[in-house]
A and B are shown apart, each in its own frame.
Chain A
């Protein structure tokens, strides 16, 4: 597999970065989320910013806190979970800002769909099976944007066309069960972007789709980002998916951000051993028989994290100093952050592209 040299990759990323406007859309700072009625902390001190037109990927294993973080931004935390500290600020039109952690139910309902769009893994369960998909798209247009019935319908057909559904006028009259999984996900994306939100959160939106449809939906998300200047927060467990469409990637482990940086930079020169481990297990377009890599051990359970580095027990490079005190998230050159005391010395070791490591 021909790997473009890291420097080329970085240039490509910078070209993308200079494109979209730079003002922050979402600023999360010091976010803590507790689970089990406040008895355990599942997300600790998460801070990041999403700029307008930027696509940010959030990756991590099951239970890394990535989904909880994303749900807290949508106000749909599961029962027993709550934001215990920190802030998440969504910048609205004309300089208005909204503190997401302080919203009540009514305020959430005004915000969602209008300024925040969301797409989830299982599109069928978010659509009403008894209504045509067209109606489910036209309804928010009429309610939120005050469109007339005819105008909303016209706009809905336009939106269906813009998310790549063929024969949108016919699709308008279809019921959810008449559409395939890929088409439903497109319908859901159309609903999510109908009111021109500034931020679209996609929580494992392509995980259940097959390869070709997944690639198409990722293409669609990238295109919407380009055309509408939409900020994108893509939550997934597959680093390869993130590498496809994002500018920047946040790597979550056991409720903390362990690495943050430009995507191509991070996937080609991981600074944290956990990122390197994720890269080893990711689907990499390698078609050969090989020993599939796994990350040994299990992540610590919420509230039972060790005092030092939370990844230390599964890390090949852990030393005594890793286990004593919490590791800070340190800024490194190139707009990256990493939570590893040995990051500087490890980067060259971890950089060897995993696909070139002999099986």
Chain B
């Protein structure tokens, strides 16, 4: 059962030296987080899904997490709510070490609704038989909130996401449009007045207008309620519209993080550069588009022979800038302006160097 995964964690290791400051100022603090799913057969941890991730989110801040499918974005969010097997590191939500919570404490922590996880697909995460009012009120009902107060808070939460509680409260999810369903999900997540909201690809199934609508709601919520928000998305441009900071994951490693505009406009890590170069834009005419740099990385012959080795930089196999020193995984070295990038050659001109690097053809 999923709730038991939290108990598999070894007692949290002594806090790494850098987490000294008081934690009450941070809604989420993740340090040295590693996650590995157990092997299907035999004992011990299997392949790592996340390795040594450090993150912080303060109240009222939006952190955007980007990366390709399988890069560990979802696992990161699930680890925070205790749905992924953490094998190392420390997770603190509003000052509480959630990795150390056991059975009853974990349940009480969950009932408090301090942290909320918003699933990607509302059709699957909302019970198809329950009405909107019941769905949104469920976290309160679980926590034992009185019926009258529950009704008021459900109406308030629905109102915040722009839904009319009287008109839609009695409907079931199948009777809502895609955008409305996602907003019901959001209402359910904020009804407990959380300190931290984790939204896993909340907009990937929505069209552009609905996507912007939901993202704007997240923006309003952090402003009005001071909730810290972690948004996972693969739509860089719309995410950039609301996120204060961006964290880029690649194969389970945090390869770059920093203020949104800086990270996306002047990437330090070659993978971030590849991401921003791949984002669709309007003004690129077809002839130019096809000459875009670094799309597919080196063709099989070009990648360094050591690129797949365990200690090597995770991006080396696709990186046109890979050199001999990339044989060791670089740490997340800090850069000016609260930025960090896990790259041996983090130059502000890396986008330009990418452009000049030998172009891969498929």
Interface, chain A (partner B; CB < 8 A) = 1-4, 9, 12-13, 15-16, 61-62, 164, 166-167, 180-182, 207-216, 218-220, 222-223, 237-241, 243-245, 247, 264, 267-268, 277-279, 281-295, 298, 353
Contacts and interface: CB of A to CB of B under 8 A. Distances in A.
Contacts of A277: 209
Contacts of A279: 282
A209 B235 CA distance: 10
Nearest to B361: A164
B285 A9 contact: yes
Contacts of A215: 278-280, 292, 295
B100 interface: no
Contacts, number: 172
A212 B68 contact: yes
Contacts of A1: 281, 283
B207 A282 contact: no
Contacts of B210: 62, 294
B289 A287 contact: no
Given A243-B284, A287-B264, A294 B216 contact: yes
| Max count, chain A CB within 10 A of own CB: residue among B238, B243, B261, B286 | B286
Interface string B171-215: 000000111000000000000000000000000101111111101
Contacts of A241: 280
Nearest to A298: B177
Contacts of A222: 286, 289-290
A310 to B, nearest CB: 16
A214 B287 contact: no
A3 B261 CA distance: 19
A209 B280 CA distance: 13
B64 to A, nearest CB: 11
Contacts of A207: 204
Given A13-B285, A287-B260, A289-B243, 7 more contacts: A166-B300, A211-B236, A222-B290, A244-B280, A285-B281, A290-B241, A294-B210
Contact of B237 (A181, A213, A219, A283): A283
A180 B69 CA distance: 8
B234 A292 contact: no
Contact of A216 (B66, B211, B296): B296
Contact of A284 (B207, B281, B285, B295): B281
22 contacts: A12-B287, A62-B179, A164-B362, A166-B299, A167-B300, A182-B69, A210-B69, A211-B66, A211-B235, A238-B280, A241-B280, A244-B286, A268-B282, A268-B283, A281-B212, A283-B279, A286-B241, A287-B237, A288-B241, A289-B242, A293-B212, A294-B216
A211 B282 contact: no
Contact of B216 (A164, A214, A292, A295): A292
B15 interface: no
A136 to B, nearest CB: 21
| Max count, chain B CB within 10 A of own CB: residue among A210, A245, A289 | A210
B265 interface: yes
A264 to B, nearest CB: 6
Nearest to B71: A210
B276 to A, nearest CB: 7
Interface residues of B, number: 55
Contact of A243 (B178, B237, B281): B281
A160 to B, nearest CB: 11
B323 to A, nearest CB: 22
Nearest to B265: A287
A215 to B, nearest CB: 4
B154 interface: no
Nearest to B299: A166
A62 B216 contact: no
A13 B211 CA distance: 30
Contacts of A181: 69
Contacts of A238: 207-208, 280
Contacts of B234: 210-211
Interface in B121-167: none
Nearest to A182: B69
Nearest to B281: A285
B261 A211 contact: no
B275 interface: yes
